[in-house]
Amino acid sequence: MYTAITDSTIKISIIGAAGGIGQSLTLLLKTQIHNLIPIGSNKVKKNHIHLALYDINSDAVNGVATDLSHIDTPVSLSSHSPNTENGIKDCLKDTDLIIISAGLPRKPGMTREDLFNKNASIISSLTDSIIEHCDLSKIFILVISNPVNSLVPVITKKFIKFDPTADVERRVMGVTKLDIVRASTFLHQFGINEGFEKRSSIMPSVPVIGGHSGETIIPLFSQSKIHPQLTNEQVDYLTKRVQCGGDEVVKAKNGQGSATLSMALAGYKVVAKFISLLSGQEDIIKAIFYISLLDHTKNEPICPGAKELMDTVDGLDFFSIPLTISAKGVHSIKYWIMDEMNDYEKDELLSACIPKLRENIKTGWDFIQD
Ligand code: NAD
Ligand code: LMR
């Protein structure tokens, strides 16, 4: 099942690969991702994709990888667990992109914060493995596990403590894409239900900023080009639906976990962006991620636009925002999106987000001893 990693390989490591998200995401990657690398383009420097699957559930991950390996695409696979030779080391060695969906999902009645202690311990020990086995000068890490708002600070602080010069924090990103997918879906459905959507094949694009939990999620419906005529009540309804989108799925699954399929699709969309960067097709990609705004070692803004953003979010040092990414990591922040917010978004949504997000960030930061 294992294919040798060469200079033309993009290696993607999926941690938690046997879980609900992990299985659906690896299926999407195995079946679709190679289509994103055009054959014969001289911009492409890497044209082979390898998926390295890791999970502590050894039988499950081995089964998933074997099953996927029968799918007829040129994407290669390997399976790793504490029971395989070298364990997580072989999954992480030479990797370019690490996707972490390891950890507990919510059950009805729980908040994402309730997952913190258990998932922070998992993430913290995974970060130790990343430090031990990866080339810290190049890896990107995408954090799906919850609570994203606090786990990204946990990982960031661990890297800074290990090696302040490695500059990994500009390549650690919390995945908030599901909120963006939901905002687009709910707005589209709403338009059809209300009878003012005629072009049912066109999906609206709605930026969502802030964090990934309840009131920290700020959908900017005013910045969607479709349905600018929504009333305040309609925007309020849609905003609350996006903020509670995760709860809607947790409730419907009634104890059988949280969003997996929609999250896998959101994760696929995010990885697809990275393929154009890692294959050499693009030098810069645009995306929305939850990132550190501060280079905590130098106590300086992480990149152009970060200072302006921190000034508008009362000094928060982590935030989800449209940005550009180069091979070195976060490259610039589209801070002016904040100036384009309307009064409702600024006075109600951002005001409610800031104290909550500050608390979540502190929980994560304090988890790692100074
Ligand atoms: P799941 O329980 O189905 O899968 C989690 C997997 O992680 C399991 O296979 C488990 O064996 C594995 N695991 C646990 N500890 C591990 C470790 N130390 N190393 C490797 N693997 C380990 O859960 P799921 O539904 O896939 O959700 C995973 C996480 O993603 C949850 O924390 C959930 O809250 C979060 N989530 C985030 C978003 C988002 O938008 N960011 C969306 C949905 C779910
Ligand atoms: C989601 O938004 O669906 C995820 O964060 C999972 C959850 O617990 O809600």
Enter the ipTM.
0.99
Q: Is 50 a catalytic residue?
A: no
Residue 2: pLDDT above 60?
Answer: no
Q: Is residue 225 assigned to a domain?
A: no
Q: Is residue 336 assigned to a domain?
A: no
Q: Which atom of ligand 2 is nearest to the CA of 262?
A: 3
How many domains, the chain?
1
User: Closest residue (by CA) to atom 8 of ligand 2?
Assistant: 106
List 188, 212, 227, 331, catalytic entry:
212
Range of the domain at 156: 9-176
Q: Is residue 204 assigned to a domain?
A: no
Q: Which atom of ligand 1 is nearest to the CA of 60?
A: 9
Q: Is residue 153 assigned to a domain?
A: yes
Q: Is residue 253 assigned to a domain?
A: no
16 annotated ligand binder: yes
Q: Is residue 318 assigned to a domain?
A: no
pLDDT in tens, 96-112: 999 999 999 999 999 99
Q: What is the pLDDT of residue 355?
A: 98
pTM beyond 0.90: yes
pLDDT in tens, 34-76: 999 988 888 899 999 999 999 999 999 999 999 999 999 999 9
Q: How far is CA 199 from CA 34, 203, 231, 285, in A?
A: 31, 9, 20, 29
Average pLDDT, the chain: 95
Task: Using the mean position of ligand 2's atoms as its centre, give its distance from the Cα of residue 247 in Å.
Answer: 7
Q: Is residue 329 assigned to a domain?
A: no
User: Closest residue (by CA) to atom 33 of ligand 1?
Assistant: 105
Which has the minimum average pLDDT: 12-21, 226-235, 307-316, 326-335?
226-235
Ligand 1 pocket mutation, candidates 13, 15, 21, criterion most atoms within 8 A of CB: 21
Ligand 2 touching residue 259 (CB < 6 A): yes
Ligand 1 touching residue 21 (CB < 6 A): yes
Ligand 2 touching residue 146 (CB < 6 A): yes
Q: Is residue 220 assigned to a domain?
A: no
Ligand 2 touching residue 181 (CB < 6 A): no
Q: Which CATH number is 103's domain given?
A: 3.40.50.720
User: Which ligand is in closest contact with the Cα of 261?
Assistant: 1
